[in-house]
Amino acid sequence: MDHTAHNKLISFIWSIADDCLRDVYVRGKYRDVILPMVVLRRLDTLLEPGKQAVLDEVKFQIEEMQATELDDAPLKEASGYVFYNTSKWTLQQLFGTATNNQQILLANVEEYLNGFSDNVKEIVERFRLKALVRHMANKDVLLNVLEKFVSPYINLTPETVEDPEGNKMPGLSNLGMGYVFEELIRKFNEDNNEEAGEHFTPREVIELMTHLVFDPVKNAIPSVISIYDPACGSGGMLTESQNFVEEKYPSVGISRDIHLFGKEINDETYAICKSDMMIKGNNPENIKVGSTLSTDEFAATRFDFMLSNPPYGKSWASEQKYIKEGKEVIDHRFIISLPNYWGKNEVVDAVPRSSDGQLLFLMEMVNKMKSLDSGSKGSRIASVHNGSSLFTGDAGSGESNIRRYIIENDLLEAIVQMPNNLFYNTGITTYIWLLSNHKAGARLGKVQLIDGSLLFRKLRKNLGAKNCEFAPEHIQEIVDCYLNSATTERVLNDNHDSMGIASQVFANSDFGYYKVNIERPDRRKAQFSLTRNESLRFDKQLQEAMAYLYQTHGEKVYQAGFLKAQQKAIVEWCEDNDISLNAKARSKLLDLKLWQKQMTLVNTANTLMAELGETEYRDFNLFKQDVDASLKTSEIRLGASEKNAILNAVSWYDESAEKVIRKKQKFGADDLSALISHLDCQQSDLADYGYYQIGNSNEYLMYESSAELRDAESIPLKDTIHRYFLAEVKPHVAEAWINLDSTKIGYEISFNKYFYRHKPLRSMEKVAKDIVDLEQKAEGLIADILGIAVADIQVGA
């Protein structure tokens, strides 16, 4: 279907809303009527040719067979589809025999809807069509709407027909139907100032995806295959995949059996998809409604091919309760095993941030890959993502774990970057991820990155955000580049502008890195003072609110019941001052025991100050010894957290102070050997890992690290942490050390890093020439405006 016919059809359907529904529905509700009526008319046109055969079969079963319940199979055979309608009506007949009596028309329409097979009745129910029909009848517009949809100037059949003037109206394919719905949904939502919704995949992107998925295995496609889309929308990707295989790679000698599976959360698009499956002759029961993330609908099923364009940048917070209980992941699809730095397997989460669930859909497809152990040829996946799937999430995060799992298990074959503004509802950069668990030998251990962002042709008229498309030659160029699996350099024109396609092939490990903390010793000074001691009166997390209460009410805050009585005023003050306190924090703030505990800390600090004085210590180690001795002398017992609170309140970092010792430890021969083995280093290197030998003894010092000075380094997997530390860190920070136990492994993919090419600056001569040319053009424009010659301007000057 060409763009002109597409736009004409959209305009006609759009006009139905304005012509018939203006006084019956608010504009935001037009879609509730138009979308189901388009589906209904589509199904109706398909059933019209076999209508009499269905009625004859009904008569035969009732009169000849004396059936009390109709047999589905003969009725489906009579209709030519996996659905049918046993009523005497078609939409055309409903309109042609209608009078001005809306109630009679309503009864006939309801009889017509009740005559559908159960699979269509579910679609009618999802669209809530019966309630809509009743409302239109009550408002006297049902006949008008029917008249529009049976108009000879609209063609919703798959066949080319002529309008009353003899103009050809092209047929509407299943994919074309999807485009009609996508455009209608976009227009309805824009007209209602709403978000455009999920991204519908342009046909040329689907064509590219099908080539990338099926072409590499064209000679090994089984005669029976399954295709799955976990976010199937209106089903365009499934049906076009089926068409592609049937047309491009037909099975020789035997008929190919293709089974389509999908799941869709939106009732409207689910109904559209299911109707398309029925029209195509596929099993509509394989299309499920609901959230793919919440329920593993196909838990026991594995698929040969999977193609999808899952929603990206969309929150999945409402589905978290089905995937996680607290912090624990409970859905097996999103739990994976990965080796830590020392090679020991650990069970980790494969769950990204709740604000973007696109990688969850990718893991759902990975979970549905066929195992080679079962004798299958494995599975192939093509999935569309935005850029965040490539690099968001630090080492150890859910996003990074997913990338790591896919790459380290050698599932990722290639990623193709596509042009901006290729999709209808977003202009952002998008990528096709290609996965396989049965890679060709030449691809083992490798990933190909293809930059096709400069391959496009402009549209004459924008379709939403879409202002460009792939031409057939662009698709072929990307597919050839992928199949060749080789490095391809981009061509530069005379202005050093990049043109064409670029490709690079990397080892899997090129995308991985170690994330390791580099520590520096804490150096602290300490000194008791009334001001520092007084800061202990307030809990750090409630500092502002507690300070306000104490300054306002003084010692009254320590009276039983006083704080509880002030609760309303306290809450109002917090709200007025933009202090957000949850229920637990509010309860803590009003707890007299907390105030008494903090006051005890103040008194203890003052007692210590009375004994130790206000001398400033530049050796925190000595200060702690004196505090411990004073506590013992004063017979004051403090818990570890209480003592640390006092020490932290009266000390601060100072680079001129002595290093703070965490502990001294003597190592026996076996313990020392185990430590060296764990760190995979020589004994002489232990200081680089924070173990400082005291003289020639077997005793080592370990220092407290400063959280403020801690740095995290990302080190390529192909490098070693110790070599990197010696070359890149130690020359600049001599007292730093490696916290090897903090090491995490991460993966990210940066297209900009791999494909960026520096464009040289233009020479001064060229810049000067352009400036002179612009000045001359400007003079010519002024002369034209004033109607005088350039020479006159120059003479006047």
Secondary structure class of 197 (helix, strand, coil)? coil
Confidence class for position 660, pLDDT limits 50, 70, 90: very high
Q: Give the relative orientation of helices 30-47 and 142-149 as an angle to the nearest 10 degrees.
A: 50
Question: Both 281 and 146 in a single domain?
Answer: no
Number of domains in the chain: 4
Instruction: Read off the pLDDT of residues 205-258 as tens digits, 9 standing for 90 and up.
Output: 999 999 999 999 998 898 899 999 999 988 889 988 998 999 898 877 677 899
CB-CB neighbours of 281 under 10 Å: 11
Question: Both 237 and 100 in a single domain?
Answer: no
Q: Measured at the alpha carbon of residue 234, what is the angle toward residues 229 and 238, in degrees to the nearest 5?
A: 40
Q: What is the mean pLDDT of the chain?
A: 89
**Quick check: is 251 in a domain?**
yes
Give me the mean pLDDT over the 116-141 stretch: 92
Question: Both 413 and 529 in a single domain?
Answer: no
- pLDDT at residue 196, as a whole number: 40
- pLDDT at residue 789, as a whole number: 56
pTM of the shown model: 0.84
Q: Which tokens belong to 584?
A: 């637990």
Instruction: Read off the pLDDT of residues 322-358 as tens digits, 9 standing for 90 and up.
Output: 999 988 999 999 999 999 999 999 999 999 998 899 9
Q: Measured at the alpha carbon of residue 453, what is the angle toward residues 452 and 457, in degrees to the nearest 5?
A: 95
Q: Which tokens belong to 379?
A: 């599975």
- pLDDT at residue 188, as a whole number: 73
Question: Both 39 and 125 in a single domain?
Answer: yes
**Quick check: is 47 in a domain?**
yes
Instruction: Read off the pLDDT of residues 555-576 as tens digits, 9 standing for 90 and up.
Output: 999 998 898 898 889 888 988 8
Instruction: Read off the pLDDT of residues 672-686 as tens digits, 9 standing for 90 and up.
Output: 999 999 999 999 999
Is the pLDDT assigned to residue 199 strictly greater than 60? Answer: no
Least confident of 66-70, 640-644, 682-686: 66-70
Question: Both 508 and 554 in a single domain?
Answer: no
The parent domain of residue 769 ranges over 764-796
> Which of these, 260, 305, 306, 307, lies nearest to 279 by C-alpha position?
260
Looking at residue 617, the DSSP 8-state letter turns out to be B
Q: Measured at the alpha carbon of residue 28, what is the angle toward residues 23 and 34, in degrees to the nearest 5?
A: 75
Least confident of 267-281, 492-506, 642-656, 773-787: 773-787
Boundary residue ending a domain (633, 653, 673)? 653
**Quick check: is 409 in a domain?**
yes
- CATH number of the domain residue 270 falls in: 3.40.50.150
Number of H helices, E strands in the chain: 31, 27
Q: Is 690 left (phi over 0), alpha (psi -120 to 50) or beta?
A: left
Question: Both 163 and 283 in a single domain?
Answer: no
DSSP 88-131: S--HHHHHHT--S-HHHHHHHHHHHHHTB-HHHHHHHHHTTHHH
Question: Both 160 and 286 in a single domain?
Answer: no
Is the pLDDT assigned to residue 59 strictly greater than 50? Answer: yes
Give me the mean pLDDT over the 171-189 stretch: 73
Cβ(595)–Cβ(561) below 8 Å: no
Residue 338's DSSP bridge partners are 346
**Quick check: is 120 in a domain?**
yes
What is the Cα gyration radius of the chain?
Answer: 36
Question: Both 579 and 626 in a single domain?
Answer: yes
Boundary residue ending a domain (612, 628, 653)? 653
Question: Both 373 and 485 in a single domain?
Answer: yes
Confidence class for position 756, pLDDT limits 50, 70, 90: confident
Residue 257's DSSP bridge partners are 224
Boundary residue ending a domain (123, 155, 172)? 172
Strand segments (E) across 696-759: 699-703, 711-716, 737-747
**Quick check: is 184 in a domain?**
no
Confidence class for position 432, pLDDT limits 50, 70, 90: very high
**Quick check: is 744 in a domain?**
no
- pLDDT at residue 191, as a whole number: 61
**Quick check: is 665 in a domain?**
no
Q: Which tokens belong to 183?
A: 């455009």
CB-CB neighbours of 664 under 10 Å: 11
Give me the mean pLDDT over the 743-768 stretch: 84
